[in-house]
Structure formats: structure tokens, C-alpha cells
Amino acid sequence: MGDACTSITVDTVLFTATSHEEENYRKLPGKELRVLLLRRAEEPFQQQWALPGGTVCARENLDEAAARTLQEETGLERIYLEQLYTWGAPERDPRCRTVSCTYLALANAAQLEAEQDATGVVSHWFTVQESLLEEKKVMQGEGFRQERTSRLTLTADDAEAYAIIRAGRYVGANGARTDRTLVDCSGLAFDHGMIIQYGLERLRSKIEWTDLAFHLMPERFTLTELQQVYELILGRELLTANFRRKTAHMVQETNAYKRDAGHRPAKLYRFDPDWEAKQS
């Protein structure tokens, strides 16, 4: 086994939704999905952008390690975290064999005010955009293989990065199995581009049947703001009337309004923790 000891790390894909002002005073601010990345100070991938994370300590479990490393590198605490996927390709870290247990994290704007670049690490929020480059289907044996190649584009004020990811899927006589490869990337360390894309995919699929979106919302919000967040993540527009009908049971009305917007004020809502009980 003469190799160096394999090491186990955690890495966190932290998403948030931010507003950006619109030119017209009447228009609502638009929304963007952002992910937090840190500039690496050391080799390998020096000066490239990487997910917050680090090595797991002896006396903590994986969830704790993710929360701790996030706190150490960004000052953020009490962030929603859920395990995403564990990546262990042999060559993913050029130094030594490293298995990374990754987490999906969500934060709202209020939580981010505590953010501070601790320990001198440079952190940046990048807007996230995904676009489909190619989609193909090839017959193979008794079934077929599908491949979707997409481009993840990350943009910050003074930096840019991208990754091209190919998600494959073989469907045979018994069902489907999937795989994923990083075709190309620029500005991103390790396989982190692929991890971000997978995190986005997870977020996209879970938002439809869970309350995940509310981790991205402030304490009080308008239904339009909520809808914007859904549209942002799903990447398509929703019809207002239908959206409100579907989310009505997850929110509680407050008697406050959002005023001074240059148009009719919108009622503020809050998340209803008890929504599932009302389902039956």
C-alpha cells in the first residue's frame, strides 16, 4: 500500500438568492442564484476558486465537520446543511487520494450579514447559470444511452469561471443507471464545478416537493418574491395564480405589507412549519 493515507474532507455548496436593483424605479428587483467560493491560496489549484470545506477532524461527525469548516472559512453559523454526495475518483486531488463528502447548504440574506472573511480567506459570491449544450440518445445493446452536456457559468464582480459537465444515463432491460464527468473547466479547483452542478440539480428536484426554498427566504416575504426564487431555481416561469394555489398551504399570512414600491403593496407572508399536517 506504500501510498499516502487517503484523506477525507467535507465541501459545501452554499447557495443563496440575492436581489439586484432594476433601472426603472417601479420595477421589482430581479433575483439571482449565487454560490459561495473561496480563492485558494496554495497549490494545488492556487488562485483558483474552490468550495468552502476542509479535512474532517477525529472527534466530529461529517455534519459537524461541514458546519465547522463553513464557520471557520466564512464566519457563517446556523446554516441549513444536508448531505449531497460523496466524490471519490482516484485522481480528483493530485496530491493524494482524497474522498470528499459534500453538503448542500442554503442561506437567506439576513444570515449572510454575519459573513466575514475569517482567517484571511478571500470569499466571493458567484451568480450561477446553467445552460444545456447538447442532448443525445444512442441505442446501445437492448437499451440506450442518454447524455446531457451542460455548461455551468459562474460570474462575480471581478472573476469568472465555468465548467462543462456531461451527465450520462444508461437505460437497459432492468432500469436506469447514471454517471457524471467533468469535461472541461476553467477557474475552478478540483471537480468542484461538477459538484456545484450536482447541487443545483438536487436543489431543482427537491424544491418541487419539499420546503427547501424557505431556507432561501427571509423571515417575511411576499408571494412574488417566493415565486421569483422558485423560478430562479427551476429556470422557467410559473403562472402566478397556479403558483399561489400550490404554495398557499405552506405559508401563513401576516398583516404587514411591503410598501413604497411604486405600485400596489404586497402582503407579507411567513413560512408555516405545520404545513405537512394540513395536507391530509
Distance CA 86, CA 43 (A): 23
CB of 258 to a copy of itself, least distance (A): 19
Instruction: Give φ, ψ of 209 to 5 degrees.
Output: -130, 5
Among 6, 27, 44, 172, binds DNA (CB under 7 A): 27
Query: Alpha helix locations (H) across the chain?
Result: 62-74, 109-112, 192-206, 223-234, 240-247
DSSP E strands: which ranges in 107-246?
123-140, 143-156, 159-171, 176-186, 221-222
Q: Is 28 in the site for DNA (CB under 7 A)?
A: yes
Which is nearer to DNA, 78 or 246 (by Cβ)? 246
User: Which one of DNA, a copy of itself, none is in contact with 97 (Cβ closer than 5 to 8 A by kind)?
Assistant: a copy of itself
Q: How far is the CB of 221 from DNA (least distance, A)?
A: 10
Q: What is the CA 76 to chain-centroid distance, rounded?
A: 16
Q: How far is CA 55 from CA 8, 93, 183, in A?
A: 6, 13, 26
Q: What b/e readout covers 115-130, taking b as 16+ CB neighbours within 10 angstroms?
A: eeeeeeeebbbbebeb
Helix axes 223-234, 192-206, angle to 10 degrees: 130
Rule CB under 8 A: say whether 230 interacts with a copy of itself.
no
Among 82, 130, 147, 201, binds a copy of itself (CB under 8 A): 82
Dihedral sign of CA atoms 59, 92, 41, 77 in order:
negative
Name which of residues 184 to 203 contact a copy of itself (CB under 8 A).
none
CB of 260: closest distance to DNA in angstroms?
A: 4
Spatial distance between the Cα atoms of 242 and 247, rounded to a whole number of angstroms: 9
Contact with a copy of itself (CB under 8 A): which of 39, 40, 50, 60?
60
Q: Is 61 in the site for a copy of itself (CB under 8 A)?
A: yes
- Residue 6 contacts which entry, a copy of itself, DNA, none (Cβ below 5-8 A, type-dependent): a copy of itself
**Does residue 94 touch a copy of itself according to CB under 8 A?**
no
Interface region with a copy of itself, contact rule CB under 8 A, candidates 12-20, 87-95, 119-127, 151-159: 87-95
Task: Give the binding site for DNA (CB under 7 A).
Answer: 22, 24-28, 222-224, 239-242, 244-246, 258-267
For a copy of itself, the binding residues (CB under 8 A) are 1, 3, 5-8, 56, 58-62, 65, 80-83, 85-90, 97, 99, 101, 108, 142-144, 171-178, 210-215, 217, 219, 270-271, 273-274
